[in-house]
Amino acid sequence: MLTSLLLPLALATTGAARSLGCGREIPSKFPSAGKSAILHLPGTDREYRLYIPLTYDKNQPTPLYFSFHGATRDMNEEEELSQFSNPFFNKDGIAVYPNSKNGYWLSNPSANISLPNDLDFTNDLLTHMENLLCIDSSRVYSAGKSNGGGFTAVVACNATVGSRFAAFASVSGAYYDTDNIPGVGPCKPAKRKEGYPFIEFHGTGDTTAPIDGNTNSNPKLPVIDFLEGWAERNGCVKNAKWARNETVMEDPLLRHASWDCAGKRGIVQHYRESGNGHCWPSTVGNDDYEEHPLQCPAGKSAFNATEYIFEFFRDYRLRL
């Protein structure tokens, strides 16, 4: 059960929503600007990794990016994988990498055994960040890889937690039936004018979270079903087809589909990379390519998913 209360926000003249942490010095236990460190959420046994950009200003509301790791991975690996702490992609935002309780996030059947309170943890961690750092609460975003990408959808589905995030991204997501997850309940995001922007990346050669889904003991939804579900939640009719399906590059083949729903152009987007597998697309390589090469048979990608994610996020903010 979610226990945190949404805190009042003051709107700056710039349109940014200043959190209660604005004007405060960076807490002594936090990393200094330009660095990251492992921390514990007070009053809990939960860990997270925090990155504060070199450009951080205690009086300037700053975007906040959550990045959730995949199954059996951890917060340290996710920082290396997603590159959300890399100034090349993230010039001025704070990044937080939550750590799961037992290596799995809610939605994965292995997490459902112990039912870790991941939604409360996410909600409380966001409140903690807003209380102690100068966060632009209209620009809070969630992304994740594999089980972390699936959990990002669980966050979006929750009317309390999801309503605090402006947009969502998933890379090689493992999408279980979000209407039948123990301890979570059906997907019922809170209604809001800006909708729930969602961008998704998948390789056609993914055997861990197959793009067409699977029906084994831990069945996963086909990616198209997942995308059409979010299109419907954003105001499209049920099973609505994309408004555009374009070729971004020929070799390797990269396709881009997007949905326009209720006047919101490109509110749901999908990049489909031919040949590659269960990896986070990167032109320079990352932990997926170095430590799990069999998952990435095509090798390094011809594009950076992180760059595309940040470009997508920049288009969205909450109306607070």
- Which CATH superfamily hosts domain 16-313? Alpha/Beta hydrolase fold, catalytic domain (3.40.50.1820)
Residue 206 vs residues 80, 150, 212, 288: alpha-carbon distances, Å: 21, 15, 9, 13
Residue 15 pLDDT: 66
Tell me how many degrees the CA angle 230-232-234 measures, rounded to the nearest 5: 70
In this prediction, residue 300 carries a pLDDT of 87
Does pTM surpass 0.85?
Answer: yes
In degrees, rounded to 5, the angle at the alpha carbon of residue 309 between the alpha carbons of residues 187 and 55 is: 115
The whole-number mean pLDDT for each consecutive block of 10 residues of the chain, a chain of 320 residues, reads: 41 70 98 97 97 98 98 96 97 97 90 84 98 98 97 95 98 84 81 96 95 86 96 96 96 95 97 94 90 86 96 95
State the pLDDT at residue 12.
39
| Domain positions in the chain | 16-313
DSSP designation for 298:
T
pLDDT of residue 110: 86
Contact by Cβ (8 Å): 289, 272: no
Report the C-alpha gap between 198 and 195 in whole angstroms. Answer: 9
Containing 224, the helix (H) or strand (E) segment is helix 223-233
User: Which two three-digit tokens encode residue 45?
Assistant: 């046994």
Asked if residues 316 and 166 have their Cβ atoms less than 8 Å apart, the reply is yes
Pull the structure tokens for residue 196: 């729930």
